[in-house]
């Protein structure tokens, strides 16, 4: 009887260790956002508010450990396409690519001003991704 209990305990321990190792396995996938719309209101150097609308794209590789944390391995952000009150926006690269744990972003100057457009991609601990553009 004692031997049977020890054998059952050993099998249970081995199975639980096997399942735990599988739960911590990294998962990876490629994500792509193509021409996602964005809009934002920002104030220029003269105190005038402008409404910027456009589309932005991103391709990235993300990785996560289910239920613990996610991160971005690589990301590419082509220049967005946008208009301000009907006028085409010229985006100048501010760079470089910034990757900080669960997000990655790239910054562009808006026209000839020191205002920024920042496309950002993120990944959470469940592999859910997000993509957005902030302007200021």
**pLDDT on residue 14:** 55
Burial class (CB in 10 A: 0-12, 13-18, 19+), 75: buried
Take residue 27 and report the two structure tokens written for it: 């998962």
Give the whole-number percent of the chain exceeding pLDDT 70. Answer: 82
Take residue 73 and report the two structure tokens written for it: 């391995």
pLDDT tens readout for residues 113-129: 788 999 999 999 999 99
Residue 5 or residue 39, greater confidence: 39
- Between the alpha carbon of residue 95 and those of residues 87, 104, 119, the distances in Å are 24, 12, 12
Listing DSSP states for the chain in one string gives -HHHHHHHHHHHHHHHHHHHHHHT-EEEEEEEEEEEEEEEEEE-TTS-EEEEEEEEEEEEEEEEETTTEEEEEEEE-PPPEEEETTEEP-EEE----EEETTEEE--EEETTTTEEEEEEEEE-TTS-EEEEEEE-
Q: pTM, whole model, 2 decimals?
A: 0.80
């Amino acid at each position: 009887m004692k031997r049977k209990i020890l054998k059952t305990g050993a099998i249970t321990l081995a199975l639980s260790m096997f399942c735990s190792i599988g739960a911590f396995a990294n998962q990876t996938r490629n994500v792509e956002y193509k021409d996602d719309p964005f809009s934002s209101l920002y104030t220029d150097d003269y105190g005038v508010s402008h409404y910027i609308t456009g589309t932005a794209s991103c391709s990235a590789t993300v990785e996560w450990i289910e239920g613990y944390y996610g991160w971005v391995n690589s990301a590419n952000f082509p220049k967005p396409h946008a208009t301000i009150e009907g006028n085409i926006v010229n985006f100048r690269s501010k760079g470089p690519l910034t990757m900080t744990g669960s997000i990655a972003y790239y910054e562009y100057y808006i026209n000839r001003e020191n205002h920024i457009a920042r496309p950002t991609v993120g990944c959470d601990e469940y592999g859910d991704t997000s993509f957005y553009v902030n302007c200021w």
